[in-house]
Amino acid sequence: MSLTCPSSVQWIQTEWESPVGGLRISVIIDPSGDVRCAGLYFREHHPVPAQWRVDVDRVDWQDCESTKSLVEELQSYFAGGQRVFETRCSFTGTEFQNNVWRALQAIPFGQTRTYSEIAEIVGRPGSVRAVGTAIGRNPISIIVPCHRVVARSGVLAGFAGGLERKRFLLDHEATVSGQARLFF
């Protein structure tokens, strides 16, 4: 479905079946034609922003260049080719959340960080729980790699898509980057 923001930004949604299950993809296109990913959710975790209204039907990802290029990047990621996503993101969160999400984008493919390390990176070392909450509200899964954040002990903890998906994504990245495992 396509949703329109009050600011005349076009919001397009589509779905794509990935190796980790159905994904809902949301992109925004501003009046100048600038395209950004605004949401990448596992199908069962997809919220629709309350302030937006439905005005046209959902598009097939192959029929829209902006969603097609994003899905092609995801296909390459799952095939072991794409390690850095070129799709630009549009974050709508607090300044703190945006800082946390940008810190997630800086975690290299095939590496992990702890919640404590992310708190240090964003300059809030005493706010580990707040960092965890911000990570849990990440609207752009996989591209903004919240799956690369693990507990201090190295074990898997928290992921909106479920720990099995987190394990799959980390195992995938470990295999592609020639590592045994990225978590304990």
Domain-terminating residue out of 32, 52, 78:
78
Each residue's pLDDT tens digit, 95-118: 999 999 999 999 999 999 999 999
Single out the residue of 155, 159, 173, 162 nearest to residue 21, CA to CA.
Answer: 162
Mean per-residue pLDDT of the chain:
86
Give Cβ neighbours of residue 47 (< 8 Å, ≥ 6 apart).
41
Instruction: Encode pLDDT of 9-57 as tens digits.
Output: 788 888 899 999 999 888 888 888 888 898 898 887 755 554 444 553 4
CATH number of the structural domain spanning residue 168:
1.10.10.10
Place of tokens 């949401």: 39
DSSP symbol at 108? P
pLDDT tens-digit map of 51-99 = 444 553 466 667 778 888 999 999 999 999 989 999 999 988 899 999 9
Q: Mark whether 155 and 124 lie in a shared domain.
A: yes
Residue 171 within a domain = yes
Is residue 181 in some structural domain?
no
Which of 37, 64, 89, 146 is catalytic? The answer is 146
| Integer CA distances (angstroms), 133 to 91, 115, 130, in order | 16, 10, 5
Instruction: Please check whether residues 102 and 171 belong to one and the same domain.
Output: yes
Assess if residue 6 is contained within a domain: yes
Structural domain of 110: 95-176
Q: Which helix (H) or strand (E) holds 128?
A: helix 128-136
Is 146 an annotated catalytic residue? yes
With a CB cutoff of 8 Å and minimum separation 6, the contacts of 45 are 160, 161
- Distance spanning both ends of the chain, measured CA to CA: 40
Instruction: Supply 44's token pair.
Output: 């069962």
The count of other CB atoms within 10 Å of the CB of residue 130 is 16
Residue partners of 133: CB distance under 8 A and separation at least 6: none
User: In whole angstroms, how large is the CA radius of gyration of the chain?
Assistant: 16
158 SS3 class = coil
What are residue 113's DSSP bridge partners? 149
C-alpha count within 13 angstroms, C-beta hemisphere, residue 17:
0
Q: How many domains does the chain have?
A: 2
The answer to whether residue 87 sits within a structural domain is no
Predicted local distance difference test score (pLDDT) of residue 52: 43
- Residue from 29, 23, 42 nearest 3 by CA: 29
> What pTM, to 2 d.p., does this model score?
0.86
Q: Which of 78, 103, 126 marks a domain boundary? A: 78
Q: Residue 4 — very low, low, confident or very high, per pLDDT cuts 50/70/90? A: very low
